[in-house]
Amino acid sequence: MARNHFDIERPRRINIAIAGYDGAASSKARDERKAKEKARKQRATVAAQQMRVEEAVTKATVAGAKAEADLEQINRLSTSRKHVQDMNALLAAFSPGTGADSDDDAVHKEALRQEELREEERREEERRLEELREEEARSQDGG
């Protein structure tokens, strides 16, 4: 029996000479196929990325064109007679230093005035309650 049984079970490399078979050429062909497949996948990946970018750009362009068309429509409407007052009021509401600001200031001042009135009424109510408490305290002390 052999001292090392792995020597027995180890497969042996068999060299068979086949006429017309070139092992190096086969390996080279396999490597070329793998390289071509890798290049094809890389081209497909780049093409897919480019398509996504183009699609995003197209959508953005369409959205921009639509926004521009909406602006043109707003401009046309603002020059038509029936919408002039509405557009002027809208523009005045958003432009600084116009009558809209003074309207906002007036509304703000009115809100402040109302708040001050409520605060004053609350103080008067507190004073009345305090006076009632003092009267009750006096009547209990005196009674």
The DSSP annotation for 20-88 comes to: T--HHHHHHHHHHHHHHHHHHHHHHHHHHHHHHHHHHHHHHHHHHHHHHHHHHHHHHHHHSGGGHHHHH
pLDDT at residue number 122? 92
The number of folded domains in the chain is 2
Structure-token pair, residue 23? 């092992």
What integer pLDDT is reported at residue 35 of this predicted model? 96
Instruction: Give the global pTM.
Output: 0.32
Residue 49 located in a structural domain: yes
Percent of the chain with pLDDT over 70: 76
pLDDT score at 30: 92
Domain identity same for 90 and 39: yes
47, part of any domain: yes
Of 75, 94, 113, which residue constitutes the final position of a domain?
94
pLDDT for res 100: 47
pLDDT in tens, 2-47: 566 656 666 667 777 777 777 788 889 999 999 999 999 999 999 9
- Range(s) of the domain holding residue 46: 23-94
